[in-house]
Amino acid sequence: MGSRFDELRIFTGNGNNALAQAICDRVGVPLGDATIVKFSNENIFIKLNESVREKDVFVVQSLSTPNLSDRIMELLIMLDACKRASAGRITAVIPYYAYGRTDKRDQPRVPITARLLADMIQAAGAHQVLTIDLHAGQIQGFFNIPTDELTAMHLLVRYFADKNWDDAIVVSPDVGFAKRGRNFAEALGAPLAIAEKRRVQHFGRTDGGNLTSPEILNLIGDVAGKRCILVDDEIATGGSMLEVIELLEREGAREIYASCVHAVFAGKATERLRKSSLKELVTTDTLPLPPEKRWPGLTVLSVSHLVAEVIQRIHSGVSVDTIFQQRNHPALM
């Protein structure tokens, strides 16, 4: 099926250049030519150096750290530039959606920043959004434009399935992730254990507020003598993950592995995870991982083939859902 728009164009900001280039290589188009400048007053200027009039434009931008605010502004400004250059259709491709944890008002006088970000992306000119494994599924509903949420969990499942372990058990780091953890375990053909985590409130902060910290209470399931595969959508500071690792050690786990889609690795996360008893941590390249955030026990799988396949399908007007209905589809390999 042919597209109702002219040829496809892919542009990117500075959020994840390597992934954007890998996507272009798989699609078979050159990365769009754009100039991105940050002036001394911290204003960001973007110019598209080629015509996008009536083109089907995809703007790839992971909302990554450091300089998260710059990455958000780059995305918004590039969307606006495409809109004002009369692009036929503009799709915001956001492999990692920032502010995913601020998806609701869970205490008085706080914002819903994930919704604010969605509003800004739409106002900037996006006609649709493509993203991967949102931290909270309801974020899809924050958009009033078509939104496709892909999952990279199948990449992690296939990686561990190829090891052919007969003593593996999947571990969800908390009850909130239990449903996705169960799906992971079912796809792997392994049992599921759940770490029950509650946040404990500490009173008496000097400004009159309270602080909360995670506390692992117990484990639902038997992991003694088994290979444990911890699975989560993202790892930020690694604090919760390390607590679960210690819990699994106390419960007699044979070996401990971990996996996540989004390797945020904020603060000292890399150092803490490297020094832990993890045999291996498997993640994807939705976020850039510079050399200082890598170590021998880290394995990075690429989502470029999945995103490239979906971009081609969107451009051609072909169903995206059918990819996930075919267990051995090349985009899932």
Which are the catalytic amino acids? 197
In whole angstroms, give the CA distance from residue 133 to residue 151: 5
**Side chain identity, residue 283:** T
Reference 326, options 300, 312, 307, 306; nearest CA is 306
By DSSP bridging, strand 44-48 and strand 280-284 are: unpaired
- The enclosing H or E element of 70 equals helix 68-84
- The enclosing H or E element of 306 equals helix 304-316
Q: Report CA torsion sign: 235, 240, 246, 252.
A: negative
Query: Cβ neighbours of residue 268 under 8 Å, at least 6 residues apart?
Result: 237, 238
In whole angstroms, give the CA distance from residue 161 to residue 4: 40
| CA 272 to the chain's CA centroid | 21
Q: Which two tokens stand for residue 98?
A: 């920032």
